[in-house]
C-alpha cells in the first residue's frame, strides 16, 4: 500500500487563491470607489424614473445595476473569504468592516430602485415584463414586488441599512470571532471546537463522553456573552418585523424563500409527525452499541469498531468518480475545483468552523471552505459542497439577478451529489459490518438534516416567541427551550445530559440567518425525491437535472421543480421524501441483522 504523507492526510496544502477575485484592478479600494462612482451616476440618471421606464430602458438600467453589483460582490466575497480562514486577524476584520460600511453606502445610493419599482403601477409592470429584453432579470423583478407591503420610506430604509452595520452585522461578526476561537482541552491536548465535536464519532464511549464534557467546559466561559448576542439579535429582528408589518418571526424568511407560511408550516408538521423515525433509529443504535439507552454524546458514534480515514487524494478520487458516473460534464467542472485552487480544506487556528460554498459573482467562480479531518463524513461533506459549487458554476450564465436560488432549493444539488457519492461508496462495500456502518452514517445524515433541523426550527420559534412575549431570555431559559425541542424529537430513545443544555450556543445559523434551518429539511426531502427520479429514469434524467441547475433562480421554486417532474404544491410531497428515509432505516435494520449485530425479538 502506498504511504500517505501527512500533508495529503490533512490536506495541508489545499488552499484557495482569492486574488483573481479582484480582477485587473487588484484592489479592494479601487473596486469600491468605481462602484460608488457608478452608483452616483446611476442615481442621477434614473432616480424618479424607475416606475415609468420602458422595457428597453429598464433593461439598460438593470444591466448597469448588474455591473455595479459585480464590483461590490467581488469585494464582499474577497474580504469575507479572507476573514473566514483567519477570524483572529485584525487586519482582515478591519478590511471586512470597511468593505461592509462602503458597500452599505453604495446600497443606500441605489435603494430608490427597489422602492420605486415596488410602487410602479401593476398594469405597467405586467406590460414591460412580457418583453424579451428583460429575460435576464424578469423573475427577479417580478419576485421583488412581493415585498411591497413590507417596505418603508427611503429615509427609513437608509437608517435601517446604516444601523445594521453597527447592529446585526456587527453582532454576527462578534459571534463568529468568539466561536472560532473556542478551544477544547482533552487530556492535556488543546484542539478546536470542530475537532472536539468530531471526536463524538469515536467508537469508544469513554472518548465520546470525555469529548462531550470537554466541549461543554469550552462553551461555558463565553456562554452568557453568546446568550446576550442572541438576545440582542432576537430583539433586533422583532423590531424589524414590527416596522415591516410581518405577522410572525418566520414570515420574512418565508418571503425570501418564495414559500408561503402555510407550506412551511405543512413541512414542519409533516416532519414532526414522523419523529418516530429518529426515535426508532436511536433505539436500534443503542442495541448496536450494546447499551440500554444512548446519551446525547452517543448519537454520532460510529457503529463499527474501527474508524475508516481517507487521505485528501483518495477522497478526491472517490468524489470525482462518483460525479463522473452521473455526468462527465459535472466531473470536468469538479476537476477544476481541485486543480485551480477553488478549495480551502485544512483546519487552522482561527478558521471558521464547518463547511460552505461561496457563490461569489457570476463572472468569477465559486469557492469551497472545508475543515478536513480525513473522516468518511468529510468525504461526503466534500461531495455535498461540490454540489453547491456545481450549482453555482452552471447557473453563472443566469447573471447576478438569477444565479442564486431561494434557500429552499439551495440544497438540491448538494444533497444530490452527496447521495450519488454515498451510492458509490456503498456499491464498493461488501463486508457486512462496514456496509452497516455506511448505511448508519447516511441515515444519521438524513436525520440530522431533516429532523434535527426542524427541531432546531422549533427551538428558534420558542426563543423568538419568548423574547417577543416575555422579554429577555436567560441562559437557563435558553437551555430549557433547547432541551424541550430536542426531547420532542428524541423521545425516550436518548438521554440528554445536563451539559448538553448549552450546545445551542455555538450554532451560527441562529445568529446570522434567523429561520434558515428549515430550508435544510426542505432541500433534503426535495433532493431525495429528485434522486428517486434519477433511479427510476437513469441516464434520461441527466439532461433535465442539468437544466434545473443551469436555471439557477430564474424561475419560481414551483416552476423549477417541474423541470425534473416534481410538484411542490402537492400536499403529499413531504410524505414521499420521509418515506424514502424510512426505507433507509428499514435497510439499516436488515443490515444489522445480516451483520449479526442484533437479533429478532
Domain ranges of the chain: 19-166, 249-601
The grid coordinates of residue 192 equal 478546536
- The answer regarding whether domain 249-601 maps to CATH 3.10.310.10 reads no
400 SS3 class:
coil
The grid coordinates of residue 138 equal 424578469
Strands 294-295 and 494-495: parallel
pTM score, two decimals? 0.81
Mean pLDDT of 475-491: 98
Task: Tell the burial category of 409 from Cβ atoms under 10 Å away from its Cβ (0-12, 13-18, 19+).
Answer: buried
* Interval 146-189: pLDDT, tens: 999 998 899 998 999 888 989 999 999 999 999 989 999 998 99
Residue 274: per-residue pLDDT = 96
Query: Looking at residue 352, what DSSP letter applies?
Result: P
Torsion angle, alpha carbons of 321, 323, 329, 331, to 10: -50
Beta strands in 98-248 (DSSP E): 183-186, 189-192
**Nearest partner of 312 among 13, 77, 46, judged by Cα:** 13
Residue 307: per-residue pLDDT = 66
Separation in Å, CA 20 to CA 85, 101, 268: 17, 23, 42
Query: Please, which pLDDT band fits residue 601 given cuts at 50, 70 and 90?
Result: low
Q: Is the pLDDT of residue 570 over 80?
A: no
Q: Which residue has the cell 486577524?
A: 89
Mean pLDDT of 281-295: 95
* Interval 355-382: pLDDT, tens: 999 999 999 999 999 999 998 889 999 9
Mean pLDDT of 557-563: 90
Q: Which residues contact 499 (CB under 8 A, 6 or more apart)?
A: 212, 213, 215, 216
Contact (CB, 8 A) for 542 and 477: no
Q: What is the mean pLDDT of the chain?
A: 92
The distance in angstroms from the start CA to the end CA of the chain is 43
Give the sheet arrangement for strand 343-346, strand by strand.
343-346, 367-372, 356-358
| φ, ψ dihedrals at 464, nearest 5° | -65, -40
Task: Tell the burial category of 320 from Cβ atoms under 10 Å away from its Cβ (0-12, 13-18, 19+).
Answer: buried
Numbers of helices and strands, H then E, in the chain: 28, 7
- CB burial readout 190-221, b (16+ within 10 A) else e: ebbbbbbbbbbbbeebebbbbbbebbbebbee
Mean pLDDT of 491-519: 95
Residue 1: per-residue pLDDT = 45
Contact (CB, 8 A) for 461 and 249: yes
Residue 600: per-residue pLDDT = 60
Contact (CB, 8 A) for 406 and 257: yes
Q: Is the pLDDT of residue 411 over 60?
A: yes
Q: Is the pLDDT of residue 25 over 70?
A: yes
| φ, ψ dihedrals at 210, nearest 5° | -65, -40
Q: Is the pLDDT of residue 221 over 90?
A: yes
Contact (CB, 8 A) for 501 and 495: no
Q: Is the pLDDT of residue 502 over 80?
A: yes
How far is Cα 295 from Cα 200, in angstroms, rounded to an integer?
Answer: 11
Q: Which residue has the cell 442621477?
A: 44
> Please, which residues bridge with residue 185 across strands?
190
CATH number of 19-166: 1.20.140.70
The CA radius of gyration of the chain, in Å to the nearest whole number, is 24
Mean pLDDT of 564-568: 85
Mean pLDDT of 473-487: 98
Residue 141: per-residue pLDDT = 96
Contact (CB, 8 A) for 373 and 403: no
Q: Is the pLDDT of residue 18 over 80?
A: yes
How far is Cα 240 from Cα 161, in angstroms, rounded to an integer?
Answer: 11
Sequence-separated contacts (24+) of 123-130 with Cβ below 8 Å? 124/51, 124/52, 127/55, 128/53, 128/54, 128/55, 128/58, 129/55
Contact (CB, 8 A) for 427 and 456: no
Separation in Å, CA 377 to CA 128, 373, 535: 49, 9, 23
Residue 152: per-residue pLDDT = 87
What share of the chain in percent tops pLDDT 90? 75
Strands 189-192 and 343-346: unpaired
471 SS3 class:
coil
Amino acid at each position: 500500500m502506498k504511504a500517505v504523507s501527512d500533508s495529503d492526510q490533512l490536506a495541508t496544502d489545499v488552499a484557495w487563491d482569492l486574488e483573481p477575485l479582484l480582477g485587473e484592478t487588484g484592489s479592494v479600494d479601487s473596486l469600491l470607489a468605481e462602484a460608488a462612482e457608478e452608483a452616483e451616476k446611476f442615481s442621477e440618471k434614473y432616480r424618479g424614473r424607475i416606475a415609468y421606464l420602458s422595457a428597453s430602458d429598464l433593461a439598460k438600467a438593470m444591466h448597469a445595476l448588474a455591473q455595479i453589483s459585480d464590483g461590490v460582490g467581488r469585494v464582499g466575497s474577497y474580504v469575507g473569504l479572507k476573514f473566514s480562514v483567519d477570524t483572529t486577524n485584525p487586519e482582515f476584520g478591519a478590511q471586512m468592516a470597511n468593505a461592509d460600511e462602503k458597500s452599505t453606502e453604495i446600497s443606500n445610493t441605489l435603494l430608490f430602485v427597489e422602492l420605486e419599482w415596488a410602487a410602479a403601477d401593476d398594469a405597467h409592470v405586467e406590460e414591460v415584463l412580457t418583453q424579451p429584453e428583460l429575460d435576464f432579470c424578469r423573475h427577479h423583478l417580478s419576485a421583488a414586488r412581493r415585498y411591497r407591503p413590507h417596505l418603508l420610506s427611503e429615509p427609513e430604509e437608509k437608517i435601517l441599512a446604516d444601523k445594521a452595520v453597527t447592529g446585526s452585522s456587527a453582532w454576527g461578526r462578534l459571534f463568529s470571532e468568539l466561536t472560532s476561537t473556542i478551544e477544547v482541552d482533552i487530556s492535556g491536548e488543546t484542539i478546536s471546537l470542530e475537532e472536539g465535536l468530531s471526536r463524538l464519532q469515536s467508537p469508544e464511549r469513554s472518548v465520546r463522553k470525555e469529548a462531550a464534557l470537554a466541549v461543554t467546559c469550552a462553551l461555558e466561559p463565553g456562554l452568557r456573552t453568546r446568550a446576550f448576542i442572541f438576545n440582542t439579535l432576537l430583539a433586533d429582528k422583532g423590531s424589524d418585523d414590527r416596522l415591516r408589518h410581518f405577522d410572525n418571526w418566520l414570515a420574512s424568511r418565508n418571503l425570501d424563500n418564495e414559500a408561503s407560511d402555510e407550506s412551511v408550516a405543512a413541512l414542519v408538521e409533516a416532519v414532526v409527525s414522523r419523529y418516530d423515525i429518529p426515535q426508532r433509529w436511536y433505539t436500534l443504535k443503542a442495541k448496536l452499541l450494546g447499551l440500554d439507552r444512548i446519551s446525547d454524546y452517543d448519537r454520532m458514534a460510529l457503529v463499527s469498531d474501527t474508524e475508516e480515514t481517507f487521505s485528501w487524494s483518495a477522497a478526491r478520487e472517490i468524489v470525482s468518480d462518483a460525479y463522473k458516473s452521473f455526468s462527465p460534464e459535472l466531473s470536468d467542472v469538479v476537476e477544476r475545483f481541485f486543480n485551480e485552487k477553488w478549495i480551502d480544506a485544512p483546519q487552522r487556528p482561527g478558521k471558521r468552523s464547518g463547511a460552505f460554498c461561496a457563490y461569489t459573482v457570476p463572472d468569477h467562480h465559486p469557492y469551497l471552505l472545508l475543515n478536513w479531518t480525513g473522516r468518511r463524513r468529510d468525504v461526503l461533506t466534500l461531495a455535498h459542497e461540490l454540489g453547491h459549487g456545481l450549482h453555482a458554476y452552471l447557473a453563472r450564465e443566469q447573471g447576478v439577478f438569477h444565479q442564486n436560488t431561494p434557500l429552499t432549493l439551495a440544497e438540491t444539488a448538494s444533497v444530490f451529489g452527496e447521495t450519488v457519492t454515498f451510492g458509490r461508496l456503498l456499491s464498493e462495500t461488501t463486508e457486512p459490518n462496514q456496509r452497516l456502518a455506511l448505511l448508519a452514517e447516511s441515515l444519521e445524515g438524513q436525520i440530522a438534516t431533516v429532523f434535527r433541523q426542524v427541531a432546531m426550527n422549533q427551538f428558534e420559534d420558542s426563543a423568538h416567541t419568548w423574547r417577543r412575549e416575555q422579554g429577555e431570555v436567560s441562559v437557563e431559559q435558553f437551555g430549557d427551550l433547547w432541551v424541550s425541542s430536542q426531547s420532542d424529537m428524541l423521545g425516550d430513545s436518548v438521554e440528554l445530559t445536563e451539559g448538553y443544555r448549552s450546545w445551542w450556543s455555538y450554532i451560527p445559523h441562529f445568529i446570522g440567518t434567523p429561520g434558515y434551518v428549515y430550508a435544510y429539511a426542505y432541500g433534503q426531502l426535495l433532493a431525495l425525491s429528485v434522486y428517486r427520479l434519477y433511479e427510476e429514469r437513469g441516464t434520461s434524467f441527466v439532461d433535465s437535472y442539468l437544466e434545473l441547475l443551469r436555471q439557477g433562480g430564474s424561475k419560481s421554486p414551483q416552476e423549477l421543480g417541474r423541470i425534473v417532474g416534481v410538484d411542490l404544491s402537492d400536499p403529499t410531497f413531504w410524505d414521499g421524501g420521509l418515506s424514502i428515509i424510512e426505507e433507509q432505516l428499514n435497510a439499516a435494520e436488515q443490515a444489522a441483522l445480516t451483520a449479526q449485530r442484533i437479533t429478532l425479538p
